[in-house]
Amino acid sequence: MIRKRNISSAIEDLLNEFFLIQKDIESVSGLFHTIIKEAEYAVIKKTMKLTDRNKRKTAKILGISRNTLDTKIKKLNLKFGEKK
């Protein structure tokens, strides 16, 4: 059976795992910005895949403008192969 959980719970689980494996927690720096960047990367990549790389649909699902999506794709250096 697949367990339903919200995104916040999933992130908390991943952070718990992350902090468990850290040898020196004091050496961790820039975690907030790293998490935001990686989350943006993952959600855009996954949504683009689910919409067959349709930027209009992806932007709508994410609640951002098409221009903002294009900016984030460029900033994150996301690459998508040619549509078949």
Residue 45 maps to which CATH number? 1.10.10.60
pLDDT of residue 84 exceeding 70, the answer is no
| Conformation bin of residue 27: beta by default, left when phi > 0, alpha when psi is -120 to 50 | alpha
* Average pLDDT estimate for 65-72: 97
Is the overall model pTM greater than 0.85, yes or no? Answer: no
Q: Band of the pLDDT at 81, cuts 50, 70, 90?
A: low
Quote the domain boundaries for residue 46.
Answer: 32-78
Does any domain span residue 23?
Answer: no
Does any domain span residue 22?
Answer: no
pLDDT of residue 83 exceeding 90, the answer is no
Does any domain span residue 9?
Answer: no
Q: What is the pLDDT of residue 5?
A: 77
Does any domain span residue 26?
Answer: no
Does any domain span residue 49?
Answer: yes
Does any domain span residue 52?
Answer: yes
Domain count, the chain: 1
